C-alpha cells in the first residue's frame, strides 16, 4: 500500500455533485489532487481513453464519479456504459494503484431487512442496472477497486433537484408548497454529501476494496422531511399531496446497513436527515 499522503487522488467527474465533494475534501486534507472534467476529456468522444490515460500515473488513486445521472432510459444507459468503457481502456494503458467507483444502493434487490454489502443485486430501474453493469466491468480491470454505494444524497451542490430533501428545500426557498406523492409515507435513508465525501476519503486512505454502503442508518418518511423543512423555513408554505401514478418505489421502505462503514470509520456519526435539512436551511436560507 502506498502512503496516501504521497499518492495523487485523481477525480474523474470532478465538477459533478459527488466528484466535486470528494475533490474538495481531499484538498482540504492536504492531499495531492487532480480533477478531470468534461472540459479536459469528453469521455464519450472517440480516442478519449488515450487523452485520459495521458493524465494518469501508475501510483494514482482514481475516483470514478463521472456519469449521466440519474440514468432513466436505454439511451442514458448506453451513454454511461460508454463512459465506463473509456475509463477501462485508459486503465489498460496506465494501470493505477487503486480505483474508487461511485456506485449506488440502487444495485440491490428490494428487501424489508437492512441492505448489506452482501445483499443480492436486483435493480428495479435503469439507474440501478447501469451501476450493476459498471461495477461488473470495472471488476474485470484487475485494479484494486471499491464500489462506494451511497443511498439518496442531499446537500448543497446537487444539480438534479430530485424528489426529496433538496427539492423540498428548493421549493421552500421559492415560497412554493411542497408536493408529496400520495401521503409521502414511504421511508428511505438519506445521506448528506459531506458524509459521502468523508467515507470516500477514509476508503482512499485505507485502500478499502469490495463494496461499501454509505448512508445514515436511519429511515424517515418523505412527509417527515417535508414537514421539517416547512418548520425550519419560517414560511407559510404547505405540504400537499398528489395521487400516485404507480406503486411506491422499493415497496415504500428502504433500510440500509452501515455496519461495514462503521468499521472503516469507527467514529462515524452520520448527519441524520432531519438535522441535515435544518442545517442546510439555516446555512442557505
- Which pTM does this prediction carry? 0.94
Q: How confident is the model at residue 245 (pLDDT cuts 50, 70, 90)?
A: confident
Q: What span, in angstroms and rounded, lies between the C-alpha atoms of 78 and 76?
A: 5
Residue 245: all three cell numbers together: 401514478
Residue 80: all three cell numbers together: 454511461
| Residue 107 and residue 132 in contact, taking contact as beta carbons nearer than 8 Å | yes
Q: Please identify which residue in the block is written with the cell numbers 475534501.
A: 25
| Residue 121 and residue 109 in contact, taking contact as beta carbons nearer than 8 Å | yes
Give the mean pLDDT of the chain.
Answer: 94
Q: Is the pLDDT of residue 244 over 80?
A: yes
Q: Please identify which residue in the block is written with the cell numbers 480491470.
A: 141
| Residue 136 and residue 101 in contact, taking contact as beta carbons nearer than 8 Å | no
Q: What span, in angstroms and rounded, lies between the C-alpha atoms of 175 and 152?
A: 24
Residue 282: all three cell numbers together: 439555516
pLDDT given for residue 95 in this prediction: 84
Query: What does the pLDDT look like over 110-164, one tens digit per residue?
Result: 999 999 999 999 998 999 999 999 999 999 999 999 999 999 999 988 888 889 9
Query: Cα–Cα distances in Å, from 83 out to 68, 146, 189, 229?
Result: 9, 18, 28, 37
Query: What does the pLDDT look like over 178-213, one tens digit per residue?
Result: 999 999 999 999 999 999 999 999 999 999 999 999
Q: DSSP of 38-74, one letter per residue?
A: TTT--TTSTTHHHHHHHH--TT-EEEE----SS--SH
Query: What does the pLDDT look like over 72-124, one tens digit per residue?
Result: 999 999 999 999 999 999 999 998 999 999 999 999 999 999 999 999 999 98
Domains, the chain, with CATH or none: 4-153+193-217+255-270 (3.40.50.720)
Q: How confident is the model at residue 285 (pLDDT cuts 50, 70, 90)?
A: low
**Which of the 8 DSSP states describes residue 254?**
E
Give the Cβ contact number of residue 22 at 10 Å: 29
pLDDT given for residue 1 in this prediction: 45
Amino acid at each position: 500500500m502506498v502512503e496516501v499522503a504521497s499518492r495523487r487522488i485523481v477525480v474523474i467527474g470532478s465538477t459533478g455533485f459527488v466528484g466535486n465533494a470528494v475533490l474538495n475534501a481531499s484538498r482540504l486534507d492536504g492531499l495531492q489532487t487532480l480533477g478531470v472534467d468534461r472540459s479536459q476529456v469528453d469521455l464519450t468522444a472517440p480516442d478519449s481513453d488515450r487523452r485520459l490515460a495521458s493524465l494518469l500515473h501508475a501510483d494514482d488513486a482514481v475516483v470514478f464519479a463521472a456519469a449521466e445521472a440519474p440514468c432513466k432510459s436505454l439511451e442514458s444507459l448506453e451513454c454511461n456504459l460508454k463512459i465506463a468503457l473509456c475509463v477501462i481502456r485508459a486503465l489498460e494503458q496506465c494501470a493505477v494503484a487503486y480505483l474508487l467507483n461511485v456506485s449506488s444502493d440502487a444495485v440491490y434487490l428490494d428487501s424489508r431487512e437492512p441492505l448489506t454489502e452482501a445483499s443480492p443485486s436486483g435493480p428495479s430501474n435503469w439507474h440501478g442496472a447501469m451501476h450493476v453493469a459498471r461495477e461488473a466491468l470495472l471488476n474485470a480491470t484487475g485494479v484494486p477497486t471499491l464500489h462506494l454505494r451511497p443511498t439518496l444524497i442531499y446537500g448543497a451542490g446537487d444539480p438534479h433537484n430530485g424528489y426529496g430533501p433538496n427539492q423540498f428545500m428548493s421549493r421552500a426557498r421559492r415560497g412554493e408548497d411542497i408536493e408529496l406523492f400520495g401521503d409521502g409515507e414511504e421511508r428511505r435513508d438519506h445521506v448528506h454529501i459531506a458524509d459521502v465525501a468523508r467515507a470516500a476519503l477514509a476508503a482512499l486512505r485505507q485502500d478499502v476494496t469490495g463494496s461499501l454502503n454509505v448512508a445514515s442508518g436511519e429511515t424517515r418518511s418523505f412527509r417527515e422531511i417535508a414537514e421539517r423543512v416547512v418548520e425550519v423555513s419560517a414560511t407559510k408554505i404547505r405540504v400537499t399531496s398528489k395521487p400516485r401514478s404507480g406503486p411506491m418505489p422499493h415497496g415504500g421502505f428502504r433500510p440500509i446497513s452501515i455496519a461495514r462503514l462503521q468499521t472503516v470509520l469507527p467514529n462515524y456519526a452520520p448527519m441524520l436527515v432531519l438535522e441535515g435539512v435544518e442545517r442546510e436551511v439555516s446555512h442557505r436560507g
